[in-house]
Amino acid sequence: MNSRRNAGAWIVAGLALDTALAVLDLALGPDVTLIGLLVAGPLVASMSAQLRGTAWVSLYGFAVAAGLGAPNDIWASADHAARCAGVLAGGGLSVWLAWLQLDRERSIKRLAMQRAVAKALAESSTLAEAGPVILRTLAEMLGWATAAIWRVERDEVLRRGAAWHAPGLAVDEFERLSRDMTFARGVGLPGRVWDSGEPAWIPDVLVDDDFPRVRPAAQSGLRGALGVPIVGSSGTLGVIEFFAAYVREPDPELTELMVSLGRQIGERIELTRAVEEAAAREVRNRAIVESALDAMISMDHHGRVIEFNPAAEATFGYTRDEALGSEMADLIIPPSLRAAHREGLRRYLQTGEGALLGSRFELVGMRADGSEFPVELTITRVGSLGPPTFMGYLRDIGERKRAERQLTQSRALLAEAEELARTGGWETDVRSGVVECSAGLYRILDLPTDAPGVALDLIVAALHQGDRRVFEQAIGRAVRDGGRFGLECRAVRRDGGVRVLRITGKTILDDDGDAVKLIGTAQDVTEEVEARSARELLANVVDSSDDAILTKSRDGVITSWNRGAERLYGYSSADAIGKSISLIIPPR
């Protein structure tokens, strides 16, 4: 109310002074009046500038005063026309000076707010810390009763953050409801601003069609409202919300100023987030480097070590402090390879090409005590701007090499044993039907050795046609019932030769009791079967002979007794076998 009375007083004062100058012009002449206008103009401008738009009232006062003080034939009199022109020119000068004053004050006010916001952001580590200071500063300078920041959350809703209200203002219920609410896009004042990305001014929230908090706002005496987007390069990051305790009409200049400040805050938020994300990445990267099982060594473009993690300390025997700053070639590369290392680095710096970059390869490393050992190394370039930095990931593969040698030796021994025993091992995946065979089985079945795995059908096809069904039935029972199995069947080699195989195996079950694998061996028993057949044939011949044929051991125990012996000596084979030969040959 006081500001309105003051504004009215300035308007009246401006009108009075302009009227006085117009009368002076008519009474004393244009020359004296023009001098008075030049002197009084700045004063008029200063007075008129106290209220926005008053300068136009001042100009209107000039025009009215000129009209009132002129005779009826003013436009017919060149003298009067000249004086009126002088009066209007003086009024124009007054208006121009008034606008200069207004613009200057607005600029000062805008700069003060921008500085206040920048200072609050600079002195705070987070927006949550700077928010209350920014809100209080803007609200007090611009005449708002309450202010709040709404953040765009990950779950795509607006949630209230920092808030401020004028001391003594009873807004507890409104604050509580706002603190507990969230807004979706397009809902309420914050959601409306978020959805459009543009400011929104509500002269009176009590009559607005989309203001969910109307009841607590009425209880708290809040009427006019302004919502301004906080904008960053990625879009709207949040909304600043202001409320006044009276109906407040839209002010385009104030809105423009708040939009500018919203962008300033948005830029700072993105900068803060970028810094925080960079710090978080640094912490994560440091944790990865520190906890990595592999040695991680970073080198700059001069070949100097700039990172040396704990695994590298354990692998090479240097402490991190000892390694940092040292030339990597002297530190971990054997003397015989250092020249090649330095030449490779020089060539990469000149051409940007490196044969080993991004690849995994094996070479020899050197420990602090001078001992050499095999390592697996992968080198990557870190960053693309400025001089290159390289990260090497190294692993001591000494144990792996020893295990590989032992495995190779074991496989060689197994192959020799299989060859001597004429056996081969196999493993079948029940679901896919793929059979993994040892070298011995490839040899027994006369299969091509260039395939790492063969189908079960190929194994079946290698068997004699008369034995295939028996084999398939045995496999089917093993898969269905589990347990062990065994059979003899014939295999036909590519040259037409037939071999007899003794196949044994067992079923591997999963946790549900279903068969997943079959494992077993196949032994070439062709000679054994042939010898057994020969023995059986000979036994039949001996057994059917009319002559008495018997055998004894070295210690004189009867081991065989044919039918001819039974007839000749009167003893059955059951009575004779196992007895002393003295049974039929008296002792001397």
Architecture of the CATH domain 127-275: 2-Layer Sandwich (3.30)
> How does pLDDT run across 208-254, given as a tens digit for each residue?
988 999 999 999 999 999 999 999 888 899 999 999 999 999 999 88
453 versus 208: which is more confidently predicted? 208
Supply the pLDDT for residue 370: 93
Tell me if residue 116 falls in helix, strand or coil: helix
Q: Are 490 and 501 in contact (CB under 8 A)?
A: yes
CATH superfamily, region 404-529: PAS domain (3.30.450.20)
pTM assigned to the model: 0.47
Answer whether residue 147 shows pLDDT above 70: yes
Query: How large is the average pLDDT for residues 472-486?
Result: 88
Q: For the chain, what are the domain ranges?
A: 2-109, 127-275, 292-396, 404-529, 545-583
Average pLDDT of the chain is 80
Q: Which amino acid is at 100?
A: L
Tell me if residue 134 falls in helix, strand or coil: helix
- Separation between Cα atoms, residue 250 and residue 202, nearest integer Å: 8
**Host H or E run for residue 507:** strand 498-509
Query: How large is the average pLDDT for residues 318-343?
Result: 92
Tell me if residue 449 falls in helix, strand or coil: coil
The answer to whether domain 545-583 has CATH 3.40.47.10 is no
Under 8 Å CB-to-CB from 161, ≥6 apart: which residues? 127, 128, 131, 148, 149, 150, 151, 238
> How does pLDDT run across 339-382, given as a tens digit for each residue?
988 888 888 888 887 777 777 888 899 999 999 999 998 888 88
- Separation between Cα atoms, residue 249 and residue 7, nearest integer Å: 17
Lowest mean pLDDT among 324-333, 441-450, 467-476, 509-518: 441-450
CATH superfamily, region 292-396: PAS domain (3.30.450.20)
Supply the pLDDT for residue 385: 74
Supply the pLDDT for residue 440: 85
